[in-house]
Copies of this chain bind each other. A is one copy, B any other.
């Protein structure tokens, strides 16, 4: 029942851009970055394709920073550091034990960690029954 996908240059460009950056961009940045190459590009198209990519599991939204969703084409499970000041999102590689690992991983960058947010996503008991 899934609707099938057809080829589209805009879509290709969007996913290629996402795969080429580690900046975990938002929709607006993707739009602005591709606009020179695709002058006719519209923001709605960016949003529509992002939604598709999420559905297809090709990307994930890693955070909501300042009310804007941030996307990542690296779907391997990994952690992120989010600056509460400038809003940048930085990959935190590895998967060693929690607090210690985080501190040492970010230490070299001069970052200061003030809090940890851990979210497990899935289906709750009620929803899993269906």
Interface residues of A (CB under 8 A from B): 60, 62-64, 77, 79-86, 88, 90, 92, 95, 97-98, 102, 106, 109-129
* Pairs of residues from A and B, 7 with the lowest C-beta to C-beta distance, nearest first: A110-B125, A85-B127, A83-B124, A79-B118, A113-B122, A64-B64, A117-B119
Distance A106 CA – B119 CA, assembled complex (angstroms):
12
Residues of B within 8 A of A79 (CB): 118-120
Given known contacts A64-B64, A85-B127, A127-B83, is B121 in contact with A115 (CB within 8 Å)? yes
Copies in the complex: 2
Contact of A121 among B60, B84, B95, B126 (CB under 8 A): B84
CB <8 Å contact, B124 and A81: yes
